Every structure is written in C-alpha cells, then in structure tokens.
Amino acid sequence: MTDVAAVKAALKTQAVETPSWAYGNSGTRFKVFAQAGVPRDPREKLDDAAKVHEFTGVAPTVALHIPWDKVDDYAALAEHAAERGLRLGAINSNTFQDDDYKLGSICHPDAAVRRKAVDHLLECVDIMDATGSADLKLWFADGTNYPGQDDIRARQDRLAEGLAEVYERLGEGQRMLLEYKFFEPAFYTTDVPDWGTAYAHCLKLGPKAQVVVDTGHHAPGTNIEFIVATLLREGKLGGFDFNSRFYADDDLMVGAADPFQLFRIMYEVIRGGGFTPDVAFMLDQCHNIEAKIPAIIRSVMNVQEATAKALLVDRDALAAAQRAGDVLEANAVLMDAYNTDVRPLLREVRSEMGLAEDPIAAYRASGWAEKIAAERVGGQQAGWGA
C-alpha cells in the first residue's frame, strides 16, 4: 500500500526551475508573436517568475540564458531575485546565434572560432560565480549538413578539448550539464546527437559533468524512461529540460502531448533515487500563442501531477508481480497509479502549504496580467535573441 502522507511530504519538497526565455516573446520559424506585458529586461522576467512561484510554491529558481539575460551586475540581479523569493539557477550558454558559428562553435574547423566559443563558456562560469549558480548548461548546435563537409572524428576531438578546458574552470559545488539533440539545425551529423555521446564525454571529463535530458530531443518512439533509468544507474543524470513534442523539438508545454510518457519518466526518476536536488527539474519551453505566465504555471502543475501519480505506484505490488512474471498484473499496477485523479490530493498539498488550491485561478484573480500590460509600455520586449 502507498503511504499517502509520505507522498504529500515528497510533493512539498519538489522544485521546478522555470526558464527566463519562456517569459519573453517567441514564435515559429516564420514569425515571433508579441504579447502585451512581456518583460523588457531580466529583472522583469524575474518579477514574472516570482508570480509563478507565489502561486505554485514549487518554482523557486530561474534559469538564465547568456547573452539574452546579460546585465552589468550579476550580483545585483541575484539580489533582485532574492528579494522576490527566488534564486538564479542554471546558466545557459549560447553558441548558436553569432554568424561566426555557421559551421559550428567549439567543433568549428577554425581555431579562432573555437577560442571565441570556449571563452563564452568560461564567461558563463564567471557568471555562475557571481550569481551563486551551481549548473552550467551546454547545448551545441554544432554539426554538418553534407557528407564530407568536415571530419566527424576531428570534430569529436575538438569537442572533447573545449569541454575539458571549461570543466577545469568549474569551482567547488559547480557542475556541467551536457545536453544532446539528435538533429536540427545540423541535418547530416550532429556533434552531440544522443545520450550515449553526451555520456561518453561526461564520463571522461569526471564527476562534475552530467547529462541533461531534454524530453523533446529524441526520435519518435524513443524510450526516454530507459535512458533516464540507465543514466541514474550510472550516476550521470544531471537534470531535465521538460517540454512536449508531437513531431520534433516542438517546445510545447510539458505533459501536453504525452502525459503518460511524463508519468513513466517520473516513475523511473523516483524508482532510481533521482527525486533529489541533484537531479534538476527544469522547463525549456516556448509559449508562442498562449499567455506565458499561466502556461508556465500549468506546466509546473503538469509536472506535479505526473510526479504525484508516480509516487502513488504500489512498488511492493509491482515488484511482486514482476517476480511472478505476471505481465498483466504488473502493467495494471502502473496503470492504476496513472489513472488516479491526483488533483484533489494536490489541492490538499497546496492548502497545507498555505497556497491557493487552484494556482491558475489565483493568478487570474491577482490582476498581475492587467498590471504588467498597463505598465510595460515602451522599450524593447524580450524575445529570441534579446
């Protein structure tokens, strides 16, 4: 039997990191759509993130993206976050938007471009020092479009060399999270295309290097929970970038496309001992047509619901069915947990935490959306590339 009190206690400890860029304007490949009240600078992004945490109670950190969130004084930005009950989370590098990176960044054939890219990553570690962030998150658009365009093996050597220099710069309590993506924008080879490549580099680098799993970065039909289980078993799962996809890297709200997959992932996290601060639950989403703050609140709630269902799995009954080779009963145990309506349980959890039982309704009643639409007039709204 599942201890409901223990489930509630675990849910109260959960933390979901929200991304600064999700509060800004975004769009498709063809159009970036502007919305009223969108932040104009990193401080206003943090103001919005504070509202997400205020109404969910489980979103205390905000990931930054450099140079999109570049400021003159990062210590002051961290103080601004603290004044709003937040901390600054992972520092995300950007080695994909400069013209110099057309043929890659730290895998580029030109040593001068590689030097520029590594220097940017080292700058991000400096920002970690200033903000108190523990995580440097790396995703590289590096790859090739045509056979023969570059030496595949040499690019891996360059990648290893650049990562090693950055790894050596990490301080006490800091780590490197290496993300992978099987295609896009490179279509023939991608230099970090899968979890195995990321794992191989992290294993060679050492204990401060871990793999981050973006749930949208896999081929259709990929068993992501198997990857999660394996990385946890090897002590190399650093965190998640949660989002949803129907076709490719769609960056939709987590749990929107396949909530059953999210449940399966969360079960393996819990089963493998990954429901700890050592595994970062981060959102990586773009809210193109929906209102941004409510979408982020809903995403946090979706993670909570999947987690609650995963915590409700009767693990003793499941283990017994598995030992007996009872295929149908084992599947039924999982499905019983997944089919449980956990919304009443989560309302209880929020009430016990002193929060509104319905975070979306509470946000709408707060008047924040109307306030920022009226006040954030003039200036340049934040968005892709800003």
Tokens at 101, concatenated = 């990176």
CA dist 278 → 101, 129, 375 (Å): 32, 19, 39
CA dist 315 → 2, 7, 279, 364 (Å): 8, 13, 21, 39
Angstrom distance (rounded) from CA 242 to CA 53:
17
Please choose, from the candidates 132, 136, 42, 141, the residue with its C-alpha nearest in 3D space to the C-alpha of residue 91.
136
Distance between terminal CA atoms of the chain? Answer: 51
DSSP state of 383: B
E strand residue ranges, 115-206: 135-138, 143-144, 175-179, 189-190
In contact, 218 and 182? CB cutoff 8 Å: yes
In contact, 210 and 174? CB cutoff 8 Å: no
pLDDT (0 to 100) of residue 28: 84
pLDDT (0 to 100) of residue 29: 79
Please choose, from the candidates 246, 249, 262, the residue with its C-alpha nearest in 3D space to the C-alpha of residue 299.
262
Confidence check: pLDDT of 130 > 80? yes
pLDDT digits 0-9 by tens, 221-267:
999 999 999 999 999 999 999 999 999 999 999 999 999 999 999 99
Pairing of strands 61-65, 18-19: parallel
Tell me the average pLDDT across 142-158. 98
- What's the fold here for domain 14-307+357-375? TIM Barrel (3.20.20)
Tell me the average pLDDT across 94-105. 97
Share above pLDDT 90 across residues of the chain, in percent, rounded to a whole number: 96
Tokens at 341, concatenated = 């309506």
Tokens at 207, concatenated = 């204990």
Write down the domain spans for the chain. Answer: 14-307+357-375
Confidence check: pLDDT of 97 > 70? yes
pLDDT (0 to 100) of residue 257: 95
Angstrom distance (rounded) from CA 135 to CA 119:
17
pLDDT digits 0-9 by tens, 324-381:
999 999 999 999 999 999 999 999 999 999 999 999 999 999 999 999 999 999 999 9
Angstrom distance (rounded) from CA 306 to CA 281:
13
Angstrom distance (rounded) from CA 303 to CA 314:
20
pLDDT tier, 384 (very low <50, low <70, confident <90, very high otherwise): confident
Tell me the average pLDDT across 108-128. 98
pLDDT (0 to 100) of residue 386: 55
pLDDT tier, 385 (very low <50, low <70, confident <90, very high otherwise): low
Average pLDDT, the chain: 97
Place of tokens 């680098």: 205
CA-derived radius of gyration, the chain: 21
* Whole-prediction pTM: 0.96
Tell me the average pLDDT across 122-144. 98
pLDDT tier, 1 (very low <50, low <70, confident <90, very high otherwise): low
Angstrom distance (rounded) from CA 383 to CA 35:
10
Who's near 138: CB < 8 A, 6+ residues apart? 93, 121, 163, 166, 176, 177, 178, 179
Angstrom distance (rounded) from CA 158 to CA 235:
25
